[in-house]
Amino acid sequence: MLLNPANYWRKNKNWNNFVGKSGEVVFVTKVEVTSPELQSFLPYCFAIVEMEGERYEFMGEKGVELKKGDKVEFVFRKVSESDNASLINYGIKLVLKK
Amino acid sequence: MKNKNEKSPIRIVGSYISDHFGELWDKSLNDLIEEAVLGVIKSVSDKKNFDPEEIEAVYVANMASGIFNNQLHLNAVVSELFKHFPPSIRVEGACASGSLAMIAAQDSLNSGRFKTVMVLGVEKMTDFNSNEATKVLSAASDYNFEYGSTFPALYALLAKAHMHKYGTTREHLSAVSVKNHRHALTNPKAHFKKSFTLEQVSESSMVADPLRLLDCSPVSDGASAVILSTKNSGKLLSNKKVASDKISYKNKPKIIGFGHAQDSLSLANRKSLTSLNATISASKEAYKQAGLTPKDIKVAEVHDCFTIAEILAIEDLGFFKKGTGGQATLDGETTFGGKVLINPSGGLKACGHPVGATGVKQVAYLADLLENGFEVGDGKSKKIQNFKYALTHNVGGSGATVVVHILEK
């Protein structure tokens, strides 16, 4: 599906609030079934994360196993598959903090 | 003497649920709608004698016919089935669309604008495969804030929180599925008529841990409809040719309370992950209007889109102390002979979950149960179990919208 550039920008204009920062996993699940454009990332974790007293929800990077209490970092990654004519859809994902 | 300003109660004078819910390849969206309209009219009258002009308006519940069926003028699709083209409004609120349409219809009756209306819920989902349907249904979450989530994933997070705080177990979740599949065996309308063991549920394929395939309600096709009326005396219909005592108003169940509450769309913004606060608020209002407490309710259809959702519901509705819903289910307290009968239809889990139809189906099913009772036992021990009150609980998304209705025989 062709991604509309304006919608893409609107959706992701708050990236700078997260990239490079870290948080803690509050609860996490490992997703094994998902929508078609996310299939190539399976299995992936989806977590509620706490950062600076606020809670957020993010996908984990493909293959990253997260558990409650893990310290995580917010990173900039491709977040869905798109066809050759579309914008590449980037966004925030979680990785374990080194 | 009746106070002039006293409102007439809203009675559920007719009800219909699709021949059965399921993967109905031979039926289109329009077929499902037409079947429900004719079915509910037939439930109150001999079709030949009934004048459908008595339906003054139609409230249509649906979540996603625009995506599933490329149909975004559903109110007109329903209205044109009547010769008199009654005013028709579509209501959308994810999985709670049906109960929200009920509320819209109730408001029109309570205001005095109409005396008799139809509420119809419908969803034709199975032309999409399960992955595509997962994407469509995820539109009921917060797209920006919960990107990458699926509905099983959101309820999995709620399950994790409940397990962490209260020690709810895999076996507790499985007990909900086993019980609802068993209940569905006696429901001819059910999507699934197959029983499962605790082990089969616990070993079914993983969807989003800890939720497995048999923890999840299915993607179903189906429709349901009710006719609501504030007419309170005489025969059910003004058509003189219909004169059966069976359809007089006094035998029809009435709505004695309802509540509607909202919460944040995203889980991260919730005050609690171990309760749906909207369920607590909506039920509090419904109990207050009805003048009842949870102890008065002996049968309920609750929103078990996932097994954990039923455990949350039976606790948040006040039937069981917080944290004990799973064990109560495993102990048989939510089936026949238990403290409160939960989801005798099989619930969303086994009766099926055609999203827009579900909230209306809950009301239709329980109205019929209040009117006719429930046949229990077999052979010589067969008897009719009757109920005085019944409760419905319909949830939109992961708990952002909740509607509770209480019905009285």
Instruction: Report the pLDDT averaged over residues A56-64.
Output: 94
- What is the helix, strand, coil percentage profile of chain A, to 5? 15, 45, 40
Alpha carbons B314 and B327: distance in angstroms, whole number: 12
Q: Which domains does chain A have, with CATH numbers?
A: 5-96 (2.40.50)
A18–chain B Cβ distance below 8 A for any pair: no
B157 and chain A in contact, CB less than 8 A? yes
DSSP code of B299? E
Helix (H, G, I), strand (E, B) or coil at B47: coil
The region of weakest confidence among A69-78, B39-48, B325-334, B352-361 is: B39-48
d(CA B249, CA B11): 8
**Minimal Cβ distance to A29: which of B138, B164, B208:** B208
Task: Read off the pLDDT of residues B281-335 as tens digits, 9 standing for 90 and up.
Answer: 999 999 999 999 999 999 999 999 999 999 999 999 999 999 999 999 999 999 9
> Are the CB atoms for B315 and B158 separated by under 8 Å?
no
Angstroms from A26 CA to nearest CA on chain B: 9
**Is pLDDT above 60 for B5?**
no
Contact with chain A for residue B273, Cβ under 8 A: yes
- pLDDT attached to residue B6: 65
Q: Do B208 and A46 touch (CB under 8 A)?
A: yes
Provide the CATH topology of domain B1-409. Answer: Peroxisomal Thiolase; Chain A, domain 1 (3.40.47)
**What is the pLDDT averaged over residues B89-102?**
98
The CA distance from A43 to A54, in Å, is 26
Q: Where are the beta strands (DSSP E) in B321-373?
A: 341-342
Cβ of residue B160 closer than 8 Å to a chain A Cβ:
yes
Task: List the single residue in A with minimal CA-CA distance to B270.
Answer: A55
Contact B363, B407 (CB under 8 A): yes
Contacts B149 to A, Cβ<8 Å = 46, 57
Burial of B80 (0-12, 13-18, 19+ CB in 10 A): exposed
* pLDDT at res. B2: 47
B31: left (phi over 0), alpha (psi -120 to 50) or beta: alpha
At B194, list the tokens.
């197959």
Identify which of A30, A35, A59 has the shortest CB distance to residue B138. Answer: A35
Residues of chain B with Cβ-Cβ distance to A36 below 8 Å are: 131-132, 135
The beta-carbon neighbor of B268 closest among A36, A56, A59 is A56
pLDDT the model gives residue B303:
98
Indicate whether A14 pLDDT > 90: no
Instruction: Give the residue from B105, B103, B126 showing the smallest Cα distance to B114.
Output: B105
Write down the domain spans for chain B.
1-409
Supply the residues of B annotated as catalytic: 95, 353
The more confidently predicted of residues B129 and B5 is: B129
**Cβ of residue A83 closer than 8 Å to a chain B Cβ:** no
Q: Which residues in chain B are closer than 8 Å to A37, comparing Cβ atoms?
A: 135
A39 in reach of chain B (CB within 8 A): yes
B210 preceded by a cis bond (ω within 30 of 0): yes
Share of chain B above pLDDT 90, in %: 82
Contacts of B135 in chain A (CB under 8 A): 35-37
Residue B240 pLDDT greater than 60, yes or no: no
For residue B393, list its beta bridge partners: B404
Among B214, B172, B202, B171, residue whose Cα is nearest residue B325: B172
Alpha helix positions (H), B238-276? none
Residue with tokens 């604008």: B113
Mean predicted confidence (pLDDT) in B131-145: 84
Average pLDDT, chain B: 92
Q: Look at residue B7 and tell me whether its pLDDT is greater than 80.
A: no
Nearest to B51 by CA among B85, B11, B89, B83: B83
Contact B149 A46 (CB under 8 A): yes
Among B131, B145, B207, the residue with its CB nearest the CB of A36 is B131
Q: What are the angstrom distances between the C-alpha of B406 and each of B242, B247, B389?
A: 29, 21, 7
Instruction: Over range A9-20, report the average pLDDT.
Output: 84
Q: Is A79 on the interface with B (CB under 8 A)?
A: yes
> What's the pLDDT score for residue B378?
74
Q: How far apart are CA B72 and CA B77, in angstroms?
A: 9
Classify strands B299-301 and B341-342 as parallel, antiparallel or unpaired. Answer: parallel
Compute CA distances B265 → B152, B342, B385, whole Å: 15, 26, 39
